[in-house]
Amino acid sequence: MCFGLLPTCDARWPRLAGHHPAWSVAIAKGLRHPSYLVTVRHGDQVAGVLPLMLVKGPIFGSFLVSLPYINTGGVWATDADVATRLIDRACQLADELDVKYLELRQEQPVEHPRLNFQRTDKVHMRLPLPTTDELLDKSFKSKLRSQVRKAGQFDHRIAWGGSELLDDFYHVFAVNMRDLGTPVFSKRLFAEILDAFAGDAELCVVYQAEQEKLFPVAGAVLVHADGVTEVPSASCLRVANPTGANMWMYRHLLRRAIERGSRTFDFGRSSIDSGTSKFKAQWGAQPHPAVWQYYVRKGDVEAMRPDSQTNQRRIKIWQKLPVWLTRSIGPAIVRGIP
């Protein structure tokens, strides 16, 4: 892939985390999606790229997305003319593949006549990191430090690693997704992330000690790249909430990011003023725009929202299913959701 040949500082639409080529490799392999890379060149120089994936399933239909699973993607271009040419080709490809819509997960809008819908109801929550963990701790309000200390009174154990922690992480993730009423991604996706990013991706698992045994109660995937640590997936068992396991984990995730030399911690995307947004804001995270643009060919983008009446019914049914069943059928369903 030729992502790295595009200028990063002078681009009108700059490189986002989702433009890292390892993401395209990991998601394509992990979710078994056909992938496309639209490229504009000026002579021998790459002036713009747009990675795309065909998300297709038997329940919801097909979509062309940049990029599924993660929060960013879309156009990376030096100027407006290049951005237009990228989207021209993406829309043409959407027509050829006969998808319901093209979805571009951007942070800056692109003016284009065929982009006929836009969502700005969510924001990226990001925290600028100081150079030391001590400085980070001093930046916290006293209430937050008290919550962290309280969580530390429980016998939590932290483990960092790769594939050897995958089963424990996935157990927590699958249970939490069932409790949320969301089909779980396959374990293969996380294995491919670890492989594609090599030493720049790792797992964190929090264990609770009970009767001389350790039980996984929280876990997260971390990706350290280009001075940013992002957490594309994190979960905590509800039974562990009273112990502050999630709070304890995030305090260690932030420390880990500083240890890895990151300048920014990306908590991910949240609805404005939501509970998750407030959880991230208490650490000092600030909102940054998330502009998702669409070329809608048929159907309704809002029909895929979790808060739609139809999906709320599906969520309630899913929450009642046994975890073993959601682990069995969930990956086939969720890979078809953009």
Do 75 and 87 have their domain in common? yes
Do 161 and 109 have their domain in common? no
pLDDT for res 8: 53
Residue type, position 293, single letter: Q
Answer yes or no: is pLDDT of 319 > 80: yes
Sheet with strand 228-236: strands edge to edge = 156-161, 201-210, 213-225, 228-236, 264-271, 122-128, 286-289
pLDDT for res 245: 95
Q: What domain range includes position 18?
A: 3-120+290-304
For residue 317, is it within any domain?
no
For residue 322, is it within any domain?
no
Q: Distance of CA 172 to CAs 34, 100, 233, 270, Å? A: 29, 33, 11, 21
For residue 330, is it within any domain?
no
Do 217 and 114 have their domain in common? no
pLDDT for res 7: 55
Answer yes or no: is pLDDT of 77 > 80: yes
For residue 318, is it within any domain?
no
As a whole number of angstroms, the distance between CA 332 and CA 5 comes to 35
| pLDDT digit string, tens, across residues 236-280 | 999 999 999 999 999 999 999 999 999 999 999 999 889 999 999
- What 3-state DSSP class applies to 257? helix
When pLDDT is cut at 50, 70 and 90, the band that residue 304 belongs to is confident
The count of domains in the chain is: 2
H or E element in which residue 53 lies: strand 45-57
As a whole number of angstroms, the distance between CA 123 and CA 133 comes to 26
pLDDT for res 193: 98
CATH number of the domain enclosing 271: 3.40.630.30
For residue 140, is it within any domain?
yes
When pLDDT is cut at 50, 70 and 90, the band that residue 22 belongs to is very high
Answer yes or no: is pLDDT of 4 > 60: no
Contact predicate 77/46, CB 8 Å: no
When pLDDT is cut at 50, 70 and 90, the band that residue 305 belongs to is confident
pLDDT for res 198: 93
When pLDDT is cut at 50, 70 and 90, the band that residue 90 belongs to is very high
Do 112 and 132 have their domain in common? no
| pLDDT digit string, tens, across residues 48-70 | 999 999 999 888 999 999 999 99
Do 241 and 155 have their domain in common? yes
CATH number of the domain enclosing 103: 3.40.630
Nearest to 23 by CA among 196, 150, 160: 196
Do 100 and 152 have their domain in common? no
Answer yes or no: is pLDDT of 315 > 60: yes
For residue 81, is it within any domain?
yes
User: Average pLDDT, stretch 5-22?
Assistant: 81
Instruction: Give the CA-trace dihedral at 135, 138, 144, 145, to 10 degrees.
Output: 100
Answer yes or no: is pLDDT of 3 > 70: no
| pLDDT digit string, tens, across residues 128-183 | 999 999 999 999 999 999 999 999 899 899 999 999 999 999 999 999 999 999 99
Do 139 and 258 have their domain in common? yes
* Out of 26-30, 114-118, 242-246, 313-317, least confident range: 313-317
When pLDDT is cut at 50, 70 and 90, the band that residue 295 belongs to is very high
Do 138 and 221 have their domain in common? yes
Do 148 and 71 have their domain in common? no
The b-or-e profile of 109-128 (16+ CB within 10 A means b, else e) is bbebebbeeeeeebbbbbbe
User: Average pLDDT, stretch 220-231?
Assistant: 97
Do 190 and 43 have their domain in common? no
Do 256 and 129 have their domain in common? yes
For residue 326, is it within any domain?
no
For residue 312, is it within any domain?
no
DSSP per-residue codes, 261-276: T-SEEEEEEEETT-HH
pLDDT for res 109: 96
Do 73 and 170 have their domain in common? no
